[in-house]
């Protein structure tokens, strides 16, 4: 067993893990943060997407020991109290979810996408960047609409015509 320490959603935490423990399993099973979903364990679906040191990553492809000393943000830490993050609010307003299984990963990927494109997003860019996040329910139309609306809300005009 190896002791790991990290900041998760702004709180310092630690735990003993086997060297082979995936970060997704540490978050879900050790810390009880079940918003990080495990859909495939092969980094194909994106349901496990979180932020590690400010960047979107698939937590099923990272060992907990690799995250030692990192800043981790999960879907549970995105909102501020009862106030939804603008991306969460846009997903709600624009019906960017159906069953909800992929939604946490989509939202975490979207917040990083918006951060990385300060000059704005187009529909084509959003669709291209969502390639690693699978949704089997919605057909992506409302997800893309929600991300563009969130980018607009967060950056006073970040979304732009194609």
- pLDDT per residue as tens digits for the range 59-103: 999 999 999 999 999 999 999 999 999 999 999 999 998 888 999
At 125 the three-state DSSP class reads helix
On the question of pLDDT at 162 being above 70, the answer is: no
* Residue where one domain finishes, among candidates 60, 77, 94: 77
On the question of pLDDT at 137 being above 50, the answer is: yes
Q: Which domain holds residue 135?
A: 86-155
Residue 161 lies in a domain: no
Closest CA to 38 of 26, 47, 27, 28: 47
Mean pLDDT score, 142-152: 96
The rounded distance, in Å, linking the Cα atoms of 98 and 77 is 22
pLDDT in tens, 41-60: 788 899 999 999 999 999 99
Residue 162 lies in a domain: no
Whether residue 94 sits in one domain with residue 70: no
Q: How many domains does the chain have?
A: 2
Residue 38 lies in a domain: yes
Question: Can you give the pLDDT at residue 109?
Answer: 97
Whether residue 11 sits in one domain with residue 62: yes
CA 146 to chain centroid, in Å, comes to 15
Structural contact between residues 114 and 154, judged by C-beta atoms closer than 8 angstroms: yes
At 32 the three-state DSSP class reads coil
Place of tokens 């496990």: 48
Residue 32 lies in a domain: yes
Residue 24 lies in a domain: yes
The rounded distance, in Å, linking the Cα atoms of 56 and 50 is 6
Question: Can you give the pLDDT at residue 157?
Answer: 53
Q: Which domain CATH number covers 64?
A: 3.10.20.30
Residue 135 lies in a domain: yes
DSSP-derived letter for residue 80 is B
The pLDDT mean for the chain works out to 93
Tokens of 19: 């060297």
Tokens of 18: 């086997």
* Residue where one domain finishes, among candidates 77, 109, 125: 77
* Torsion angles phi and psi, residue 7, rounded to 5: -100, 120
Closest CA to 121 of 89, 87, 74: 87
pTM tops 0.75, yes or no: yes
Whether residue 7 sits in one domain with residue 66: yes
């Amino acid at each position: 067993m190896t002791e790991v320490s990290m900041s998760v959603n702004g709180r310092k935490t630690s735990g003993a893990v086997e060297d082979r423990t995936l970060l997704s399993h540490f978050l879900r099973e050790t810390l009880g943060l079940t918003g990080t979903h495990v859909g495939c364990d092969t980094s194909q679906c994106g349901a496990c997407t979180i932020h590690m040191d400010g960047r979107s990553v698939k937590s099923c492809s990272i060992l907990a020991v690799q995250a030692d000393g990192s800043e981790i943000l999960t879907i549970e830490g995105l909102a501020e109290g009862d106030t939804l993050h603008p991306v969460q609010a846009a997903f709600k307003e624009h019906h960017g979810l159906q069953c909800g299984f992929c939604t946490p990963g989509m939202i975490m990927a979207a917040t990083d996408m918006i951060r990385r494109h300060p000059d704005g997003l187009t529909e084509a860019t959003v669709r291209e960047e969502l390639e690693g996040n699978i949704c089997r329910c919605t057909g992506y139309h409302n997800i893309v609409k929600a991300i563009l609306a969130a980018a607009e809300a967060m950056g006073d005009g970040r979304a732009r015509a194609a």
